[in-house]
């Protein structure tokens, strides 16, 4: 281990290799055979378990727990990448489970791979370059994000889900395991089917668990009936929703999401 001054409350295993330039917050734990690069910043109370590699310009927020055999901040799997200085950011109090890989950004994609706070990234997940993951997100085992994917707050991506480049996963959505995603996933939706992904309506259980009022849920449910169950096409359904009196903030969010979609949405 390279020597460096650290707060007395921080524990670094003798077999760990920690750069003298790395910034290590108070109360951190760095386990056996961990490698911490020169440009890494760990907030207070971060735990990095055995055999992890954290490299590049990487910042990990307070009290995040990185489980064994995780790789964070290494160069992206992008043939255009030429060693530019790009970044990885991870928020506070997230849990990153075994064998997860998170690659740093590329100049062409904004230069940052970002994960919010309070998220659970389960074993074998891959998060590619320039992805943007919100807070309170759950990514189940072996879900795989190609580059430039956006996952909004409180979304749940099921196990073994491959997600195409530039796809957006809307807030509060639930995606069933094994679903292949090549188009955008609607906010508040329940989306599944391995062969032909489709929206099966509103993620009512998830919204109830997150404390959505009955009025909010009713307005979202009404919007989904117009989008998915009426004989209107998407443009007609949006005009219908925008013409209604007081559709609610959630429905406004749903409308904006669809209007801003570049890949098209799953219906």
| Cα gap 64→60, rounded to integer Å | 7
130 tagged catalytic: yes
User: Which listed residue (103, 129, 136, 172) is catalytic?
Assistant: 129
| Cα gap 204→188, rounded to integer Å | 8
Contact 26, 6 (CB under 8 A): no
147 tagged catalytic: yes
User: Which listed residue (130, 134, 158, 170) is catalytic?
Assistant: 130
Compute CA distances 94 → 1, 15, 69, 118, 194, whole Å: 27, 25, 16, 4, 28
Residue 132: strand, helix, or coil: strand
Residue 70: strand, helix, or coil: coil
User: Which listed residue (147, 158, 170, 206) is catalytic?
Assistant: 147
Contact 24, 43 (CB under 8 A): no
Compute CA distances 31 → 18, 45, 65, 69, whole Å: 11, 13, 12, 11
Compute CA distances 35 → 22, 25, 57, 70, 141, whole Å: 11, 16, 14, 11, 24
Contact 81, 106 (CB under 8 A): yes
Active site residues: 129-130, 147
């Amino acid at each position: 281990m390279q020597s460096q001054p650290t707060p007395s409350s921080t524990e670094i295993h003798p077999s760990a290799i920690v750069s003298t330039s790395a910034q290590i917050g108070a109360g951190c734990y760095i386990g056996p055979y961990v490698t911490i690069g020169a440009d890494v910043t760990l907030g207070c109370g971060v735990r990095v378990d055995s055999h992890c590699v954290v490299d590049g310009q990487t910042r990990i927020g307070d009290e995040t727990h990185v489980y064994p055999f995780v790789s964070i901040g290494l160069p992206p799997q992008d043939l255009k990448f030429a060693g530019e200085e790009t970044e990885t950011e991870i928020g506070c109090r997230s849990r990153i489970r075994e064998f997860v890989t998170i690659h740093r950004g590329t100049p062409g994609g904004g230069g940052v791979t970002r994960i919010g706070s309070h998220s659970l990234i389960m074993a074998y997940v891959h998060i590619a370059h320039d992805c943007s993951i919100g807070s309170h997100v759950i990514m189940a085992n072996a879900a795989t994000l190609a580059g430039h994917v956006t996952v909004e707050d409180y979304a749940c991506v099921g196990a073994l889900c491959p997600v195409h480049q530039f796809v957006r996963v809307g807030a509060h959505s639930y995606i069933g395991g094994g679903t292949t995603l090549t188009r955008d996933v609607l906010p508040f939706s329940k989306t599944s089917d391995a062969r032909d992904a489709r929206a099966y309506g509103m993620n009512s259980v998830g919204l109830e668990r997150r404390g959505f009022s009955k009025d909010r849920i009713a307005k979202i449910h009404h919007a989904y009936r117009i989008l998915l169950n009426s004989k209107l096409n998407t443009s007609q359904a949006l005009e219908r929703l925008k013409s209604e009196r007081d559709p609610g903030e959630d429905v406004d969010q749903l409308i904006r999401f669809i209007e801003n979609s570049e890949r098209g949405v799953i219906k």
